[in-house]
Amino acid sequence: MKIGFIGLGVMGAPMAGHLHRVFGLVGIHTRTRSKADPLLSQGVAWFETPQALAQQCDVVCTMLGFPPDVHAVYFGPEGILAGAHSGLCCIDFTTTRPQLAKDIASQLTTCGGFFFDAPVSGGDVGARQATLSIMVGGSKTQFPIIQSLLEAVGQKVVYQGHAGAGQHTKMTNQIVIAGTMIGVCEALLYGVRAGLDLETMLSSIRPGAAGCWTLENLAPRILKQDFEPGFYIEHFVKDMEIALNEASRLGICLPGLALVHQFYRAAQNIGLGKKGTQALYRVLESLASPT
């Protein structure tokens, strides 16, 4: 397979690196060319547009930021679909709107290609270690063709159903994370005020019923006052807004998610949008009652 990759951010760069190591990338494109330098130095070709890359590839993978970015990369005048050809497979790892995934799948099908929405979970750690959980929507009959490719970047690859099903599954993931994150931050605040040694406290609750990925990977960063992004707050806000909009469309109310969304919007308002999701701790810390 001739594989191309678009989007070399916090998650995309290591994912592209794994794919190049296992399969060999023929080309890359990203908004900021300097981010491509490590792969360019390994002989991967640079393409000026998504269209040009698509014309030369059997598979194009994308890992972008926001739904408008996905729309532009696929539907733009020099986008992937402008360079689509029969047999082209596109895999979008971005978390985006389920309907957008369906729209891309429909358009690519008319060109004789096929599309998979394959959002991931596991943060920067999972991306670097190739241990991501990947939730896949698209053609069930075509899924085996790309399974080995997905397994090069993820530890758990699960086919979820038709186009858009991967994105819907990722929404359930983000709903769980939202509730978990506020719980972890509040637990740490409580521990501080109770005078506990937080490392010792965590050694007790991690192996118990409270154990979770957030407690294992992000709580230690909070203790070190490390709020650098493994996953940007601004991206998480985007995900929560997609989930809330989809919930409204489905006729359900998610008050817990709506509450956490408000706290994260507050984080954005005080300039934390480019920090990691664990920076929610700073918002909650500022709201904590004085001793």
Residues designated catalytic: 170
CA-to-CA distance for 197 and 191, rounded, in angstroms?
8
Six token digits for residue 19: 């794919």
Nearest to 85 by CA among 44, 42, 53, 124: 53
Phi-psi region of 219 (alpha: psi -120 to 50; beta: other; left: phi over 0): alpha
| C-alpha to C-alpha distances, 90 to 10, 14, 68, 105, 197, nearest whole angstrom | 21, 19, 17, 9, 49
Instruction: For residue 211, report the phi and psi dihedrals to the nearest 5 degrees.
Output: -55, 135
Angle between helices 280-287 and 255-269 in degrees, nearest 10? 90
Q: How many CA atoms lie within 13 A of 77 on its CB side?
A: 0
- Sign of the Cα pseudo-torsion (34, 278, 101, 60, in order): positive
C-alpha distances in Å from residue 290, one per residue of 131, 190, 260, 282, 286:
41, 12, 22, 15, 9
